Amino acid sequence: MNFRSLRRFSSKIPAIVTDIDGVMIRGGVQVGNSAKAVTTLKTPLKQLNPTRFGHLSAEKVPFICLTNGGGMMEEKKAESVNNILGLQAPYEFRGEDMVICSTPLKEIAYKYENEYVVVSGFGDVVNVAYNYGFKKALHIHEYSALFPFLSPLTTKYKDQAILDAHLEAMQKRLGSSFDIAEVQKKGVSSIPVKACIAFHDVSEMEESLQIFCDLIVSKDGIPGSKRSMADPQVVDVYTTNPDLLYSAAFSLQRFGQGIFEYCLEDLFNRTYGFAPEIIQYGKPNKNTFQYCQKICEKAASKEGLGISNFYMIGDNPLADIKGANQMGWTSILVKTGNYQPEEGQTNDLENPATHVVDNFSQAIELILEAENIL
């Protein structure tokens, strides 16, 4: 085979997107020997197959972790996965390899760079939002601390020390140009809100439900005004994980972030008689899978390569397999997590995967063999 035909032969490589929990990790420990399979994928292609890829410099198989988890920066998530799997340089995951539930919001942050945005969710979400480019993001607790009368059911706001702690954090992040005393004096109209975002699991839900509803029904992003169904919704609403249930430590599945959206829709509808417009991110939504697709295509194009096939490895038919199937990707369902087939069942009935295998290592073997990489 001459050089030109070799180049043609290797001008396309596969891209692999994998879920984390129930696939590589379960209950904080490694599933099987997932680390070994990750190490293979993190090895330059020219080392894996010198005959076919000898002409490439450092290209590896584009490989992304896609999870509906969140509440932290991507770098932190990578660090935690590396620790559990015992991965070390040069085979470790980096922040850019992680797509958590909020990551695709990076693409829309520019729209809100100079706008007030209220974010809700457990963990470090307001700093994550700030780092994405939402420079005037306020956590829902901070917004409540500015205007405690908005959240009368959240009894902890009767404690001034709690309010002060939120105000202090907000002041530190937004700088001295944000005059808290002045904002409080002028009231809610001094900071019109352009978007509200459930960045991660919403705790103390009554507070977020109340304020999101106030903002969605407002005419101008200021709680207090009330538009009718015929008026356009001026506050954009985003959620990042539609999962109703997820597997945790207890034997029965637990409610996931998705319940916030269901409650919000229902409450808004009951209160105002029409439905709110909500833009949903997170698996199985197409926008989240498209985001991963773009990252993989960009990585491959650095060395002039294209993508032969996209693969999604997951344990959840409703999130991972449904999403991948919608995109026309090859979906691979593993049996180490959410999917527990009944006796005699060989695939999920509602969202059947292209392949069903025992575990992550088998999935990687299947892909590398099908793509003539090993």
Which residues are near Mg ion by CB under 5 A?
A: 19, 21-22, 315-316
**The one-letter amino acid at 205:** M
Closer to Mg ion by CB, 214 or 315: give it: 315
DSSP state, 199? Answer: -
Closer to Mg ion by CB, 99 or 129: give it: 99
The two three-digit tokens of residue 70, written as one number: 């969140």
Residue 285's CB is within 10 A of a number of other CB atoms, namely 21
Q: How far is the CB of 101 from Mg ion (least distance, A)?
A: 12
Closer to Mg ion by CB, 196 or 321: give it: 321
Tell me the CA distances in angstroms from 143 to 152, 187, 196, 215, 219, one per residue in order: 13, 11, 11, 12, 19
Nearest to 163 by CA among 171, 131, 212: 171
Closer to Mg ion by CB, 26 or 46: give it: 26
Q: How far is the CB of 21 from Mg ion (least distance, A)?
A: 4
Closer to Mg ion by CB, 183 or 245: give it: 245
Q: Taking CB positions, which residue lies at the least distance from Mg ion?
A: 22
Q: How far is the CB of 32 from Mg ion (least distance, A)?
A: 15
Closer to Mg ion by CB, 108 or 363: give it: 363
The two three-digit tokens of residue 192, written as one number: 């019109």
Instruction: Give kind and range of the element (H or E) at residue 356.
Output: strand 355-357
Closer to Mg ion by CB, 102 or 336: give it: 336
Residue 276's CB is within 10 A of a number of other CB atoms, namely 19
The answer to whether 68 and 201 have CB atoms below 8 angstroms apart is no
CA angle 69–137–175, rounded 5-degree value: 130
The two three-digit tokens of residue 332, written as one number: 């691979």
The two three-digit tokens of residue 354, written as one number: 């292209």
Q: How far is the CB of 283 from Mg ion (least distance, A)?
A: 9
Please spell the DSSP secondary structure of 295-336, one letter per residue. Answer: HHHHHHHTTT-EEEEEEEEES-IIIIIHHHHHHTPEEEEESS
Closer to Mg ion by CB, 26 or 136: give it: 26
Q: How far is the CB of 86 from Mg ion (least distance, A)?
A: 20
Q: How far is the CB of 68 from Mg ion (least distance, A)?
A: 8
Rounded to an integer, what distance in angstroms lies between the CA atom of residue 236 and that of residue 254?
28
Q: How far is the CB of 353 from Mg ion (least distance, A)?
A: 13
Measured N-to-C along each axis, helices 160-174 and 125-132 cross at an angle, to the nearest 10 degrees, of: 20
Q: How far is the CB of 263 from Mg ion (least distance, A)?
A: 23
The answer to whether 158 and 182 have CB atoms below 8 angstroms apart is no
Report the C-alpha dihedral over residues 85, 351, 355, 330, rounded to 10 degrees. -80
Q: How far is the CB of 57 from Mg ion (least distance, A)?
A: 34
Closer to Mg ion by CB, 40 or 316: give it: 316
